[in-house]
Amino acid sequence: MTVTGEGPILHADLDAFYASVEQRDDPSLRGRPVIVGGGVVLASSYEAKARGVRTAMGGRQALRLCPDAIVVPPRMSAYVEASQAVFAVFEKTTPLVEGMSIDEAFLDVGGLARISGSPSAIAAKLRSDVAEQVGLPITVGVARTKFLAKVASGVAKPDGLLVVPHDGELAFLHPLPIERLWGVGKVSAAKLHERGIHTVGQLAAFDERELGSVLGKGAGHHLHSLAHNRDPRRVQTGRRRRSVGAQRALGNHRRSAAELDAVVVALVDRTTRRLRAGHRVCRTVVLRMRFGDFTSATRSHTLPQATAHTETILAALRGLLVTALPLFAEQGVTLVGVSLSNLDDDRPVQLALPFDVRGTSMLDTTLDVVRDRFGSAAITRAVLLGRDEGFVAPVLPD
């Protein structure tokens, strides 16, 4: 706790990140409604959001709501570069940075009062530095707990700064709708609304045991604690990601099994390369698909041995695809995602026969070296020749 009665936690969250990068890089897009992604909305500017456009919405529906929107294809390399520049600003601000995704992080600025000023002053400078050095708008919430700092940044959006003083925590939190609490989705919100609970303050006053009977004991305890701003979690630095993945939106055009297989191949090539670059191996592979009726399905498989070997992982995911497709053949696939989880470090272990570097092969290593030196397209699989590999985004650390 700081002597100023503020902070020490900052939650910094870039505003409409992908769309903001597009507006930054193309001045003609500034002040205009921008949609990133055609078949499925990956991101939208605040001008488009004001017209009802939302992430994951179908492209046709988005254009009906905002017919004058400018649709641009995603540029993942530009977003990654911008994210790295922003995180460099974070790390100059404080050594205690916990990245939550490509566009948000928690920062602990406790103990910096003598050299950097109060948490609110640090937050204001952080916003100024990101704007000047990276050219992007960012919102920052300042509070005593991680939970409340994130709520504050959500309330302050877009391009804002909101400080919740220690003696004003519950006065700020309790009038907010229950949907502001982590873990309250449509189903749980409906259950709470049926019992007359619409605000965080009403939930805080509700009996915890009765709340547990409505939502389940664990969820009831979790939400009751948040409603009283009880969140003991610290900012964790150097946290290793628990999964690596990527996904691609396909639009509403019906794809053949061969086309979907090619998408999976491209996604596996990208994710296994990232896995090896991080010196990790995985045990579980996950295939996620979204369909034309907005339903989704997830299939997973746990491998007998941890690996970063592309062909082993690809074979498992191809098996999942072959099994899943007949169940959803009539609906059309609009998004395919691949995730590698149950990760471990690729440190030396007792090797199984045939002997090999843990979970990798000489072919994988050679391909990685060539692509790192000459670019991702330097060596391409035959099945991917002439195909658009327009990736939506990496699946971010959970």
Is residue 161 within 8 A of residue 173, CB to CB? The reply is no
The 10 Å CB-count burial string (b at 16+, else e) for 20-42 is: bbbbbeeeebeeebbbbbbbbbb
Is residue 12 within 8 A of residue 153, CB to CB? The reply is yes
The 10 Å CB-count burial string (b at 16+, else e) for 358-396 is: bbbbeebeebbeebeeeeeeeeeeeeeeeeebebbbbbb
The SS3 assignment for 394 reads strand
Distance CA 29, CA 22 (A): 7
Beta bridge partners, 98, equal 106
- Catalytic annotation present for 179: no
Question: Hunting for tokens 């990068």 — which residue is that?
Answer: 21
Q: Which helix (H) or strand (E) holds 155?
A: helix 146-156
Distance CA 12, CA 137 (A): 10
The SS3 assignment for 108 reads strand
Q: Is 375 left (phi over 0), alpha (psi -120 to 50) or beta?
A: left
Is residue 55 within 8 A of residue 44, CB to CB? The reply is yes
Residue 283: phi, psi to the nearest 5? -110, -25
Amino acid at 27: P
Is residue 48 within 8 A of residue 109, CB to CB? The reply is no
**Which among 227, 168, 164, 233 is positioned nearest to 199, based on CA atoms?**
227
Q: Which of 6, 22, 98, 104 is catalytic?
A: 104
Q: Which helix (H) or strand (E) holds 280?
A: strand 280-291
Q: Which tokens is 323 given? A: 């099994």
Report the alpha-carbon angle 62-248-326, nearest 5. Answer: 100
Report the alpha-carbon angle 379-385-390, nearest 5. Answer: 90
* Active-site residue set: 104
